[in-house]
Amino acid sequence: MDKVKLEIVGLSYSQTQSGAYALVLAEVGGKRSLPIIIGGFEAQAIAIELEKMTPTRPLTHDLFKSFALSFGIKVKEIVIYNLNEGIFYAKLICEKEGQLSEIDARTSDAIALGVRFKCPIYTYENILASAGVELDENSDFASDFEDEIEKKPAENSLNSLSIDELQQKLDAALENEEYELASKIRDEISKRSEN
């Protein structure tokens, strides 16, 4: 069965489940997307790596990466191999000294590790055909999700703060491991720097 390569195009608050997030994976070179509902912790772990943020202490997925690398294990790819009753199943394809191993994992954890190892994410055509959403040419999931996130009220209305105040809030958010807030503050600082 042929694998279909996916890329992360969006991470957003879930409209359907409180406290959950929608991770959107899109078919590389195609028009279909695969939305997956994941927990807040895993969403945070993925977002931190995608945004190139450095937490003050290693997160669980960072610890796993350090542990694996210290024993010469590399994660080569992530495969979302099954969908059963709305639950996606994934596995890590790992390599040590040329020998491959498959490790079963929750899809959200697999992707959080995959982004750290900078490895490709795949699924099979039958999964994409049954759970995928086809996009029209004018639709852009990533910007739709960014718009949705921006509609959420920013804590203490960031746009009213000075750059120095934003930097102080960013430092405090990182220190307190509030990475979602830190990401919003960093985006506000970046937006102002471009002007």
Query: Could you please report the per-residue DSSP string of 20-61?
Result: EEEEEEEETTSSEEEEEEEEHHHHHHHHHHHTT---SS--HH
Residues 81 and 9 in one domain: yes
Pair 140, 50 in one domain? yes
Do residue 41 and residue 18 come from a single domain?
yes
Do residues 142 and 114 share a domain? yes
Split into its structural domains, the chain has a count of 2
Same domain, 112 and 168: no
Looking up residue 125, the CATH number of its domain turns out to be: 3.10.690.10
**What pLDDT sits at residue 92?**
97
Q: Could you tell me if 95 and 169 lie in one domain? A: no
Q: Does one domain contain both 137 and 162? A: no
| Residues near 60 by beta carbon (within 8 Å), at least 6 away in sequence | 45
| Tokens standing for residue 86 | 């709305």
Task: Render each residue's pLDDT in the chain as its tens digit; 195 residues.
Answer: 789 999 999 888 776 666 788 899 999 998 899 999 898 889 989 999 988 888 888 889 999 999 999 999 999 999 999 998 888 999 999 999 999 999 999 999 999 999 999 999 999 999 998 888 886 555 544 444 433 333 333 333 576 778 888 888 888 878 777 777 778 788 788 878 776
Is there a single domain that holds both residue 95 and residue 191? no
CA 101 to chain centre: 24
The answer on 103 and 38 residing in a single domain is: yes
Contact, 17 vs 37, CB < 8 A?
A: yes
Q: Determine if the pTM surpasses 0.85.
A: no
d(Cα 3, Cα 194) in Å, to the nearest integer?
40
Q: Are residues 148 and 160 in the same domain?
A: no
Domain termination site, one of 136, 152, 168: 152
The verdict on 65 and 142 lying in the same domain is yes
Domain residues for 164? 154-195
For residue 68 the two structure tokens come to 């694996």
The beta-carbon contacts of 88-93 under 8 Å, at least 24 apart in sequence, are 88/36, 88/127, 88/131
Q: Domain check: are 121 and 102 in the same one?
A: yes
Alpha-carbon separation of residue 126 from 118, 129, 134, 135 (angstroms): 25, 5, 14, 17
Nearest to 8 by CA among 78, 86, 89: 78
